[in-house]
Structure 1
Amino acid sequence: MNFEKKNFFYRKKQSTIVDHTNGVVTSKSHSNIALIKYWGKQNNKIQIPLNSSISYSLGKVYTVTRLIYKEKKQRNFSIRILFSGKEKTSFLPKILEFFHRISLYCSYLRDLNFIIETYNTFPHSSGIASSASSMSALALCIMKIEKKLVSSLNLKEDFFFKKASFLSRLGSGSACRSIYPGLVVWGFHKSIKGSNNLYAIPYPYEVHSIFTKIENTILIIDDKPKKILSSKGHQLMKNHPYARDRLKCANKNMNRLISILKIGDFQEFGELIEHEALSLHAMIMTSRPYFLWMKPNTLNVIHSVWDFRKHSNKNIYFTLDAGANVHLLYPIQEKTFILKWIYSDLFSYCKKIIESFCL
């Protein structure tokens, strides 16, 4: 069902807004790391993916957002943004664009002034999906306001999170996956019941126990903001010579992952996510104009992981997001041995190591 066309999330009537529309809401939302990567958007659509994706939300990597709102008379957006306690006017254009996009579904926003206070537990814009956690945290705050202000609305939990995911998508595509813990799917795939392009869903099928307790260690190779943002990379898929092949490969890999998650083959899982990571960066390196997000130490880490895995027979695999930093995934049962190796052999390649886990 196309909920967007059917106005499933549409909020038009101002008569439903109650009095005393001043208050504060706070939400926390986690970053996520995609196993099957979403890369590229459908033409002439707002934040609609070329292919379905699936991700883990990450335990210790999150954004906390406090949204202060106050009623006003002028129906235009008035927003201040404080990031880690400091005014951040550079964030304003993206936030204003987001508010304009979602105002069709949250018309009450035009009646309010906002102060957004937010911070991350990880470096911003360095390729650890900060837009995913920040936009989803903001969307969750907005849904909390909607729940308070719209007196006629008895928000069921399912609707609350679906709409939060829907709104998040309009700010950052991958943000819609950060609404939920665990394995989360976004984008229609014929083999996944309930999957759609408008919002994410929790992965609906059986998952082997080995995939329910996975450690995630993030190696911060470069903590500076990326020179080329992910949004630019998505745009370059429009005329990419290998876009069609990438779409076929992503769909095939999703089918493969469904089987792997059920049977619990960690080696197959690891090889698949590494292939997906390298495929993503291959698309980046072969776009026009072409560019690189990997740094020399990204490659040093990858080769070290391959060598260590070969000689130790440990289940440690890497994946990459749209940046230079490396995510290492491995079962919790092997944490002690692997973590000791990470600090002894990989620390010299990093600015920082973040110990996290898959929710």
Structure 2
Amino acid sequence: MKATAKAHPIQGLIKYHGMRDEQLRLPYHDSISVCTAPSHTRTTVEFQPDAAEDVYRIGEERVSGRGAERIDAVVNHVRELADIDHPVRLESENSFPPNIGFGSSSSGFAAAAMALATAAGLDLTRPEVSTIARRGSSSAARAVTGAFSQLYSGMNDQDCRSERIETDLEEDLRIVAAHVPAYKETEQAHREAAESHMFQARMAHVHHQIDAMRDALFEADFGTAFELAEHDSLSLTATTMTGPAGWVYWQPDTIAVFNAVRELRSEEEIPVYFSTDTGASVYVNTTADHADAVEEAVAAVGVDTDVWEVGGPAEILPESQALF
């Protein structure tokens, strides 16, 4: 009863913000994202009948407190679905820096859900596994189905699940990741989202944004898709900044990357757009032909960079790649 899985983190394109059910992590509206590779989380889980308790580790550190509670939500749901009660050992590692705005919770819970379902002997589709991952992080649902995916809103697992969106943009997209290492915490921002006076304004237009993004992806219209993602980042940030806590995630380097992107677009006519989730780091979206020039310009700001491609769905790895 052991399995190892790998999942890629997501970049939110039309992002969700806030949850109408915190326990099931049901979002207020649909969301669309794209997975980034080769960045990934690898997780090994084992159901251990003779163990005394659950043990969760990320890297070399044992997880406790709220982090453990979120993993519990995923583990307990799998135990319920499989009708088993064995303690679980879970170990996980990331290939990229966590907690700086690059979606580590999405890949983490996606890999955990995939490994847990497999180790428990559940025969599930990826959309079904996405409902398990969602209990840890709504964005993790989309990391399960991979590439460009949409998480549908709803009040139950039949409705609120992720499905992949097929698009020809998968081959040409390159993401220059601009690392701005400012620690961020998103859970409280989600909890208070509806208290922002900008939240209803966001809700009024986000459904149109979802439809427009789907059309752009179906038509492989790079400019429209990533202009929408750029504007959605600004909309999301307006909502987080005007909540009770007044969250401000962006740092000076974040703004410097924005300016570099706009200069490339206006002065050199390069197809390039910025995007952020709830964090200071920046996704800079461009095409394969322009990736080198864009990375050079972003690095000149003084930040570390990676160039990522589109990542696929969560997958089970061979036993030889287990973490224990």
**Which TM bucket (shorter chain)?**
0.7 to 0.9
Structure index of larger Rg: 1
1:275 corresponds to? 231
For residue 353 of structure 1, report the CA deviation from its aligned partner.
1.6
Provide the C-alpha distance between the structure 2 equivalents of 1:320 and 1:250, rounded to a whole number of angstroms.
16
Q: Aligned partner of 1:115: which letter? A: R
With the length of structure 1 as denominator, give the TM-score of the two structures.
0.79
Q: Aligned partner of 1:121: which letter? A: S
What RMSD in Å do the two structures reach over aligned CA positions? 2.3
Counterpart secondary structure, 1:61: coil
- Tell me if the contact between 2:28 and 2:153 (Cα under 8 Å) persists in the aligned partners: no
Closer/same/farther in 2, CA of residues 200 and 310 from structure 1, 3 Å limit: same
Match of 2:279 among 310, 316, 323: 323
Match of 1:81 among 42, 51, 56: 56
1:355 corresponds to? 307
Q: Work out whether 1:230 is the aligned partner of 2:211.
A: no
- Tell me if the contact between 2:127 and 2:145 (Cα under 8 Å) persists in the aligned partners: no
Match of 2:164 among 202, 222, 240: 202
1:99 corresponds to? 75
Closer/same/farther in 2, CA of residues 68 and 105 from structure 1, 3 Å limit: closer
1:110-121 matched pairs, under 5 angstroms: 110=85, 112-121=86-95
Counterpart secondary structure, 2:36: strand
1:169 corresponds to? 134
Closer/same/farther in 2, CA of residues 307 and 338 from structure 1, 3 Å limit: same
- Percent identical among aligned pairs is 19
Q: Aligned partner of 1:33: which letter? A: Q
- Tell me the alpha carbon deviations over residues 270-289 of structure 1, each in whole angstroms, 9 at most, x when there is no partner: 32111001111110111112
Closer/same/farther in 2, CA of residues 202 and 333 from structure 1, 3 Å limit: same
For residue 221 of structure 1, report the CA deviation from its aligned partner.
0.7
Q: Aligned partner of 1:140: which letter? A: M
Closer/same/farther in 2, CA of residues 85 and 294 from structure 1, 3 Å limit: same
- Tell me the alpha carbon deviations over residues 8-60 of structure 1, each in whole angstroms, 9 at most, x when there is no partner: xxxxxxxxxxxxxxx43111011011111111112576211111111111111
For residue 72 of structure 1, report the CA deviation from its aligned partner.
3.6
For residue 263 of structure 1, report the CA deviation from its aligned partner.
3.2
Provide the C-alpha distance between the structure 1 equivalents of 2:180 and 2:51, rounded to a whole number of angstroms.
48
Q: Which runs of 5+ in 2 are unaligned?
A: 312-324
1:180 corresponds to? 145
Q: Work out whether 1:288 is the aligned partner of 2:244.
A: yes
- Tell me the alpha carbon deviations over residues 274-333 of structure 1, each in whole angstroms, 9 at most, x when there is no partner: 100111111011111212011111111111211121111001111001100000111112
Q: Which has the higher contact order (CA 8 A, sep 6+)?
A: 2
Match of 1:219 among 148, 169, 178: 178
- Tell me if the contact between 1:33 and 1:57 (Cα under 8 Å) persists in the aligned partners: yes
- Tell me if the contact between 1:188 and 1:196 (Cα under 8 Å) persists in the aligned partners: no
- Tell me if the contact between 1:177 and 1:185 (Cα under 8 Å) persists in the aligned partners: yes
Match of 2:25 among 33, 37, 47: 47
Closer/same/farther in 2, CA of residues 285 and 358 from structure 1, 3 Å limit: same
Provide the C-alpha distance between the structure 2 equivalents of 1:113 and 1:272, rounded to a whole number of angstroms.
44
Deviates more, 1:113-122 or 1:37-46: 37-46
1:68 corresponds to? 46
Closer/same/farther in 2, CA of residues 44 and 295 from structure 1, 3 Å limit: closer
1:8 corresponds to? none
Closer/same/farther in 2, CA of residues 142 and 211 from structure 1, 3 Å limit: closer
For residue 79 of structure 1, report the CA deviation from its aligned partner.
1.5
Provide the C-alpha distance between the structure 2 equivalents of 1:97 and 1:353, rounded to a whole number of angstroms.
34
Q: Aligned partner of 2:264: which letter? A: F
Closer/same/farther in 2, CA of residues 278 and 220 from structure 1, 3 Å limit: same
Provide the C-alpha distance between the structure 2 equivalents of 1:337 and 1:255, rounded to a whole number of angstroms.
32
For residue 99 of structure 1, report the CA deviation from its aligned partner.
2.9
Alignment: residue pair count:
308
Q: Which runs of 5+ in 1 are unaligned?
A: 1-22, 190-194
